[in-house]
Structure 1
Amino acid sequence: MSCTISVSLSGAHAFSDFAREWQNRMGETFALAPYSRATVAGFGARSRGFRLRDMMFNRFANTAALRTKGPRVGADDHVRLWIVHRGAWHVKEPGGTEHTVPAGRFLLQAGRLSHFAATPHSSVQVLVLPAAEIRHQRGTTGSGPADTAELRLLTAHATMVSRMADDLGPAGIDAARSTLAELARAAVRTGLDDVEPSLAPALAQAARDLADRRLTDPALSPTALARELNVSVRTLQRAFATEGQPLSAYIRTRRLAEARRALIAPHRRTTIAEIAVRWQFADSSHFVRAFRSRYGQTPTDYAATAAPETDSR
């Protein structure tokens, strides 16, 4: 079984609408925790996630403070991985101490909770999976930085799965679930089996995500991305080979696409030479040749023909 959830809610009935949608999509296995009355009254959130059989992943952002009301939350045989990107989350185990997870950190926790809470305007990714998948003992926690190569691969894979989960057949569900479990194990032990072929799509997606954020960086290269992802250049290139496009070609294609957008930006004041420099082309001549090879026009001709259409929208 697989299903997805994607909602953005606010207003007087936001919590009840969210609870109903969550129940319909995620079922009893991942039942929504009971929340405090104050939380329900001010609820507003964005949620995008999926369920793959006995695993669940959710990307969640809240506008107001959240807090469950207990007395016990979650299942004994589940492990939860919290990856906090903004704000802070607080997680407390029954009879234990409360763990604070600030932005840029993750927390791994097994077994039930007494409660969890989030500060206003927080953003988190949560993976829930059977404890047996990563052999984590109930009542124990682990934490670390959220920007490791292993977590980047996990979130990249989860992003891909969230886009296609509703269309996956049984074999696809099994493959996606298996990869998610392997990446969760890698995140916990901080070590990736970089020769595992099933991880190639997640590795390629993580490299694309990193490259997209660094397109103006002169140091961007397959070697630099492989270093950030903690794999060899050969492993990274092998992951891209399955998609029929080398990583270097992907970087050039994305830079050309951004340069093309810059050419028709409203009220553009930058010159073609300045655009070429920003998107890391050696010089204007190199940029013109690459642009014409890709789009069949020079940058000047493209800007002249495309600008009127852009301005009319």
Structure 2
Amino acid sequence: MNNAAPEAEGSRGAFLLDSTVAGAGPRGFDALRHVWETQIGDVFRLPTFSPTTIGDLRVKGRAAKVRDVRFADVRSASALAGTPGDDHDAAVMYVVRRGTWTLDDPPDRDEHTVSAGQFRLRHFERPYAFETAPHTTTKILALPAARLSPVLGNRIITGPADSAEVRLLVAHTNMVHATIDELGPAGVHAAHSTLIELAKAVVRRRFDDTEPQLAPALAQAAKDLADGHLADPELSPAMLARQLNVSVRTLQRAFAATGESVGAYIRQRRLEEARLALTAPSRRLSVSELAAHWHFADSSHFIRAFKKQYGRTPTDYASSTRPAGG
């Protein structure tokens, strides 16, 4: 578990929790409550869970806070039901990757379900109930209503979780989780400002692709997208730019700000996957098969690129990592 960043910087650490370690049932809830109250209470208050949830609580998650923005990733093996502890008078966004998250919205008390692959953002002024299906994976963001109200108003914003704006916001929260303990005051300010601007972009369904402050989030979103398409022969800077609704030039500019290029990142990740395949305990592909699978022009190009990256040819690398007597 990470330590909290200094309070003067306006942030806390990215905390982890896991109620599955102690097993299912009330012991699982007791384990979660202990971690929550001692480590996460200043980020999110513990929700009021239903008795059924407490009786079979199996959930993993992490939470973080940057000034007045809070976000969490929740993976629940069991069903959840209850009321959030402190998401009142806040703009709350749910991004569901798996399963379903159902909200009992005030004042009409109608149920609204966010399905896998969808998101929902609205301003909550009063307590509301929630319920999830087992095996639900969700990212939750609680944003200051005062900062979002000028663009959000009383509207409910919904749409696909893989839209360009949501991809950027999710990528940025993941970067903040990874670096929050290392951020100084200037870094906290930049992270917070970017979170607010990307949330506004979700509401507007567009973002300012010329804003330099958004370049790291754009580059990270492109990396996340590329990682899921490494075996796709169509993977290219043009494909990534199209998916993220920006020009290739804008995407290349975002990568340049991080000190690398789009093409170099794709090549490096494919080489990394080829390296792992060379040492897999199962049957290994030949060098020519690896070159074709990871879309290198031919074996010679693959061998040269691999040697430049790892200091030896694929065959030599595989031999050097093979167990003695293997």
TM-score, normalising length: structure 1:
0.92
1:48 aligns with 2:62: yes
Share of identical aligned residues, percent?
A: 47
Secondary structure of 1:134's match?
helix
CA distance 1:75–1:218, change in 2 (3 Å): closer
Counterpart for residue 260 of structure 1: 275
Post-superposition CA distance 1:35-89 (Å, at most 9, x none)? 1111111111011121111111100011111111x5x864542010000111101
Alignment of structure 1 residues 207-286 onto 2, 5 Å: 207-286=222-301
Alignment of structure 1 residues 25-44 onto 2, 5 Å: 25-27=39-41, 30-44=44-58
Counterpart for residue 20 of structure 1: 34
Distance of 2:211 and 2:85 partners within structure 1: 35
Distance of 1:206 and 1:94 partners within structure 2: 34
1:107 aligns with 2:120: yes
How many pairs are equivalent? 308
Shift of 1:141: 2.1
1:2 aligns with 2:2: no
Shift of 1:133: 1.8
Which deviates more, 26-35 or 190-199? Answer: 26-35
Distance of 1:261 and 1:73 partners within structure 2: 44
Distance of 2:208 and 2:224 partners within structure 1: 20
Counterpart for residue 204 of structure 1: 219
TM-score, normalising length: structure 2:
0.89
Counterpart for residue 176 of structure 1: 191
Q: Which runs of 5+ in 1 are unaligned?
A: none
1:137 aligns with 2:153: yes
Secondary structure of 1:2's match?
coil
Post-superposition CA distance 1:261-290 (Å, at most 9, x none)? 212221434211111100111111211122
Distance of 2:42 and 2:225 partners within structure 1: 36
1:299 aligns with 2:314: yes
Distance of 2:39 and 2:143 partners within structure 1: 17
Distance of 1:29 and 1:269 partners within structure 2: 47
1:167 aligns with 2:170: no
Which deviates more, 144-153 or 282-291? Answer: 282-291
Which deviates more, 102-111 or 167-176? Answer: 167-176
| Residues 73, 115 of structure 1: 8 Å contact kept | no
Distance of 1:130 and 1:23 partners within structure 2: 23
Q: Give the partner amino acid of 1:152.
A: R
Secondary structure of 2:181's match?
helix
Counterpart for residue 78 of structure 1: 90
Shift of 1:293: 2.2
Secondary structure of 1:202's match?
helix
CA distance 1:257–1:222, change in 2 (3 Å): same
CA distance 1:295–1:73, change in 2 (3 Å): closer
Distance of 1:127 and 1:155 partners within structure 2: 10
Counterpart for residue 171 of structure 2: 156
Q: Give the partner amino acid of 2:99.
A: G
CA distance 1:14–1:267, change in 2 (3 Å): closer
CA distance 1:300–1:76, change in 2 (3 Å): closer
Shift of 1:177: 0.8
| Residues 171, 221 of structure 2: 8 Å contact kept | yes
1:98 aligns with 2:105: no
Which deviates more, 36-45 or 285-294? Answer: 285-294
Q: Give the partner amino acid of 1:59.
A: D
CA distance 1:254–1:85, change in 2 (3 Å): same
CA distance 1:73–1:308, change in 2 (3 Å): closer
CA distance 1:26–1:174, change in 2 (3 Å): farther
| Residues 73, 114 of structure 1: 8 Å contact kept | no
| Residues 131, 137 of structure 1: 8 Å contact kept | no
Q: Give the partner amino acid of 2:112.
A: H
